[in-house]
């Protein structure tokens, strides 16, 4: 008996009503430029009529729709933090980290001039505009875009010290240099079995104390944030002075 090869799945095309609803709830954009920063980061510039006129505050996220052409899904969305957004020209930039494999990481790695996409947002994730100084900003590779978005606040990087836990210090340095974060940054290399966490905790606590910080912004990997939050609370930092937003957690998809 012969079996018919169904061939590759045909891309789903939304009907007219669904297209209209998608247009109302999402923004269409196109990749205008991609710059490799270090080995694993891509600075992706997105532009499109659909991006014009949006309200954006530094710290907001956008979600890229990686699949799902119908309203009822299943959709795959991944969150990224614009480091800049110009509503007048309909242009935004994200710094995406290629961590390995996943729809988001794969999209960032493959993004090229002309790649089209749909976005949801910008929407609130955390507000950098309100962040008092002196401040300590903790994060990892997924947080560099947020850190760079501080440039779009009235005080810029002024009064902010950064501590990042990273897989590759060399790669992270390329980002730090590209975005002029310079001496304000301390990089802590991840170690097997999370042996670096003691050093990381010390770095964050020392920086908080020595700068007499009044705000802690904790972003990046969920378990690291939990540990640092506990440590800061244990030395008397009030919870209201801490902002936590987890960007990813081991084993979880599309946090
Ligand atoms: C509000 C918000 C803002 C964000 N902003 C940015 C940003 O500006 N730039 C950026 O690069 N990322 C950012 N992220 C993180 C990004 O959305 C996640 O890393 C996301 O999981 C990547 O999707 P994926 O499809 O590649 O992997 P997923 O399918 O989501 O996950 C697959 C596997 O990879 C693991 N994984 C996910 N992320 C990482 C990582 N960073 N390192 C190691 N393993 C990982 C997961 O634990 C999971 O096991 C943000 C997340 C949030 C919630």
What is the pLDDT, as a whole number, of residue 163? 98
Mutational test site, ligand 1, from 84, 139, 164, 248, max ligand atoms within 8 Å of CB: 248
Looking at the 3D structure of the chain, how many domains does it have? Answer: 2
pLDDT at 86 over 70: yes
Percent of residues, the chain, with pLDDT higher than 90: 83
Domain shared by 118 and 198, yes or no? no
- DSSP-derived secondary structure for 154-222: TTTTTTEEEEEEES-HHHHHHHHHHTT-GGGEEEEE--GGGTTHHHHHHHHHHHHHHTT-SEEEEEEEH
pLDDT of residue 3: 41
Q: Are residues 96 and 149 in the same domain?
A: no
**pLDDT, mean of residues 174-190:** 97
For residue 166, how far is its CA from the centre of ligand 1 (angstroms)?
14
Q: Which residue has the higher pLDDT, 136 or 6?
A: 136
Q: What is the pLDDT of residue 69?
A: 54
Ligand 1 within 6 A of 105 CB?
Answer: yes
- What's the 46 CA to ligand 1 centre distance in angstroms? 19
User: What pLDDT shows up at residue 254?
Assistant: 87
Based on the domain organization, do 117 and 150 belong to the same domain? no
Residues 140 and 113 in one domain: no
Q: What is the per-residue pLDDT across 30-48, written as a single tens digit (0 to 9) for each?
A: 999 999 999 999 999 999 9
255 vs 139: which has the higher pLDDT: 139
The best mutation among 40, 94, 105, 140 to test binding of ligand 1, ranked by most ligand atoms within 8 Å of the C-beta, falls on 105
Whether 153 contacts 129, CB under 8 Å: yes
Assigned domain for 58 exists: yes
In sequence order, the 6+-apart residues with CB closer than 8 A to the CB of 136 are 160, 161, 162, 163, 204, 207, 208, 211, 213, 215, 216, 217
Q: Are 179 and 107 found together in one domain?
A: no
pLDDT given at position 16: 64
For residue 181, the Cα-to-chain-centroid distance in whole angstroms is 17
Over 60: is that where the pLDDT of 9 sits? no
pLDDT surpassing 90 at residue 71: no
Q: Is 50 exceeded by the pLDDT of residue 4?
A: no
Residue nearest to atom 28 of ligand 1 (CA): 253
What is the reported pTM? 0.92
157 and 192 inside one domain: yes
Q: Is 101 inside a domain boundary?
A: yes
One domain, residues 151 and 235: yes
Distance of CA 101 from the midpoint of ligand 1 (Å): 10
Cα 95 to middle of ligand 1, angstroms: 12
Tell me if 36 is assigned to some domain.
yes
For residues 67 and 51, the model is more confident at 51
Residue range of the domain that includes 188: 135-248
Spatial separation of the C-alpha atoms in residues 179 and 93, rounded to whole Å? 13
């Amino acid at each position: 008996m012969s079996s018919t090869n169904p061939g590759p799945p045909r891309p789903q095309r939304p009907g007219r009503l669904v297209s209209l609803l998608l247009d109302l709830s999402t923004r269409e954009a196109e990749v205008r430029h991609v710059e490799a920063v270090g080995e694993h980061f891509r600075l992706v510039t997105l532009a499109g009529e659909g991006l014009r006129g949006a309200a954006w505050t530094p710290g907001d996220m956008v979600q890229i729709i990686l699949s799902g052409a119908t309203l009822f899904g299943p959709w795959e969305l991944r969150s990224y933090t614009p480091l800049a957004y110009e509503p007048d020209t309909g242009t935004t930039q994200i710094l995406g980290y290629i961590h390995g494999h996943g729809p988001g990481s794969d999209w960032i790695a493959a993004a090229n001039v002309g790649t089209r996409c749909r976005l949801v947002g910008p929407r609130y994730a955390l507000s950098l505009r309100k962040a008092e100084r002196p401040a300590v900003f903790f994060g990892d590779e997924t947080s560099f875009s947020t850190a760079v978005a501080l440039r779009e606040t009235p005080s810029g990087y002024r009064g902010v010290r950064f501590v990042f836990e990273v897989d590759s210090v060399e790669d992270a340095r390329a980002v730090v240099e590209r975005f002029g974060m310079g001496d304000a940054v301390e990089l802590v290399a991840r170690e097997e079995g999370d042996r670096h966490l003691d050093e990381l905790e010390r770095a964050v606590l020392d920086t908080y104390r020595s700068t007499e910080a009044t705000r802690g912004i904790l972003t990046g990997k969920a378990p690291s944030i939990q540990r640092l939050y506990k440590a800061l609370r244990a030395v008397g930092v009030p919870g209201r002075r801490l902002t936590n937003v987890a960007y990813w957690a081991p084993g979880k998809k599309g946090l």
